[in-house]
Amino acid sequence: MEPVIEGLSLVLDLNNIVLIFGGVLIGVVVGALPGLSSPMAVALLLPFTLSLEPVPAICMMAALYCAGTFGGSITAILINAPGAPPAVATAFDGYPMAKRGEAGRALGLATFSSVFGGVFSLVVFLFAAPFLAKVALKFRPPEYFALAIFALSMLASISGKSSLRNLISGGFGVLIGTIGIHLTTGVERFTFGIHELTEGINFIPVLIGLFAMSELLNQSQALDVAYERIRTGVVKLPSRADLKLVWPTILRSSGIGTFIGILPAEGSTVAAIMGYNEAKRWSKRKEEFGSGTPEGISGPEAANNAATGGAMVPTLALGIPGSGTTALILAALIIHGFRPGPYLIRETPEFVYAIFGAMLLANIMFLAIGLIGAKTFSMITLIPRAILWPAVFTFSIVGAYAGSGSIFDIWVMFIAGVAGFIMLRHGFGLAPLVMGLILGKLVEESFSQSMIMYDNKFLGLFESPIVTLLFVLTFISLLWPFMGPIMKMAFSHPRSRGEGE
């Protein structure tokens, strides 16, 4: 109990509260602006937090993560332009409800569902992370290697054009992570005589380039896009009738979102889509979905915000990022000198509970912001893109340089930005690449240590039942995109045949 009190006391410091509130404001603004995203905002914020103490720095980014997921619902409802990918499903019913003059009701439902989903997942996080860390304390290098491989295999199921493209993108991220001197052998890899590459590529410019510069190049093709704005009055809390209707949906979606968030590499977008689909599946009014039903708003909003707390569980307890944004937070932890994983929870539990407290406080703050300031925040969509994106470009350059004060890092950012733009054009996801980059070192180091333990005999890894189980799960994960449709056909065929007879 003492670490919980100590962690919460760290959050309740006035300076930390101000920073968390700043993170919430930035998150809502970024989430509400079409084109900007939470990963981009965290990537741009990362170099500016290096001058802060670790607790306020990570708490601010965690608050931004929570608020950014919610912020996308504002523009999804008001202008049918989701500010963040997880809000895509919210627009299906949120915008039709706004068009018939119920924008305030729609925003109120989105706000209440988001806060409940976020708080629900944080309660799970409070109990699940320490338990998972206790299990992980028994892990040796072979178990960590198998766990990292399993996490990389989950990239195949991230939403995107192709599972194969996601795996290729993740593999490319692992390859980038191997640049520099191998810690076990001392051999230089892929440095090409460039001195700056001997210690590997810095996370910060790569992340800024991938998420900020690539999106800038992408948005430059849509400067003239205009959105239809819906005027909204006062945002309203859900009525008793609304709560009676959506309560089962909120509970179900909160559970779905938390579970999806805990799975490595899934994230809020997948959770939102599943939340919407399940809300429709269990609804007695399926035919109303798409025309402005409250369940169609509460389902995805509760799920995508519940995924934020869930995603922090593997990030802090195992050192395995649960989403693209938590991969950036994981990078921030490493840069600030922490070792994410079971030792983080065992040695500095107060720090973990401080992050929990910051995310809880962030949910309370954006409840107030959603109810009071949604109308004001919707006005930021009027900012001309010709002004917005040059500002993003400037912050990108400053952020890349601020990390280590090197011009080389600015060139790395530009190269990463162009690479990210090309990847997006051809259906390769950026989140898998970041996952591969973060997990690459863990894969390489744990594999090298395992081979030393087993005298270079790969089959020796299977002496551990945990390793065997994780490899079986990896195999299933890789085949699932192909097995899923086949199993669906197999189970549906007898029914259709029986109906025909």
Instruction: Name the amino acid, one letter, at 119.
Output: V
C-alpha 20/C-alpha 31 separation (Å) is 16
Could you tell me which of 82, 382, 70 has the C-alpha nearest to residue 229?
Answer: 382
pLDDT digits (tens, 9 = 90+) for 63-96: 888 888 787 787 778 766 666 667 778 888 888 8
Residue reference for tokens 């962690």:
7
Could you tell me which of 327, 299, 297 has the C-alpha nearest to residue 315?
Answer: 327
**What pLDDT shows up at residue 307?**
87
Confidence of residue 477 (pLDDT cuts 50, 70, 90): confident
C-alpha 451/C-alpha 440 separation (Å) is 17
Q: E-strand spans in 202-289?
A: none
C-alpha 197/C-alpha 408 separation (Å) is 10
Residue ranges of alpha helices (H) inside 263-384 are 268-282, 294-317, 324-335, 342-347, 349-378
Please check whether residue 67 is in contact with residue 28, taking contact to mean a CB–CB distance below 8 angstroms.
yes
pLDDT digits (tens, 9 = 90+) for 239-281: 788 888 889 999 999 998 888 787 765 567 768 877 888 888 8
- Report pTM: 0.69
pLDDT digits (tens, 9 = 90+) for 433-472: 877 887 787 788 888 889 888 888 888 888 888 889 888 9
Residue reference for tokens 């006005």:
379
Backbone angles phi, psi at 275, to 5 degrees: -60, -40
User: Cβ neighbours of residue 332 under 8 Å, at least 6 residues apart?
Assistant: 42, 46, 49, 57, 58, 61
pLDDT digits (tens, 9 = 90+) for 191-200: 888 888 887 8
| pLDDT of 365 over the 60 cut | yes
Would you state the structure tokens that stand for residue 259, as one six-digit string? Answer: 């579970």
Confidence of residue 499 (pLDDT cuts 50, 70, 90): very low
Higher pLDDT, 500 or 234: 234
Confidence of residue 288 (pLDDT cuts 50, 70, 90): confident
Instruction: Return the axis-axis angle of helices 324-335 and 430-453, rounded to nearest 10°.
Output: 50
C-alpha 470/C-alpha 132 separation (Å) is 15
Q: Positive or negative CA dihedral for 362, 364, 365, 366?
A: positive
pLDDT digits (tens, 9 = 90+) for 109-162: 888 898 899 899 888 877 777 776 677 667 788 888 887 788 777 666 554 457
C-alpha 214/C-alpha 412 separation (Å) is 13
Q: Structural domain boundaries of the chain?
A: 2-481
Q: What is the DSSP letter of 238?
A: P
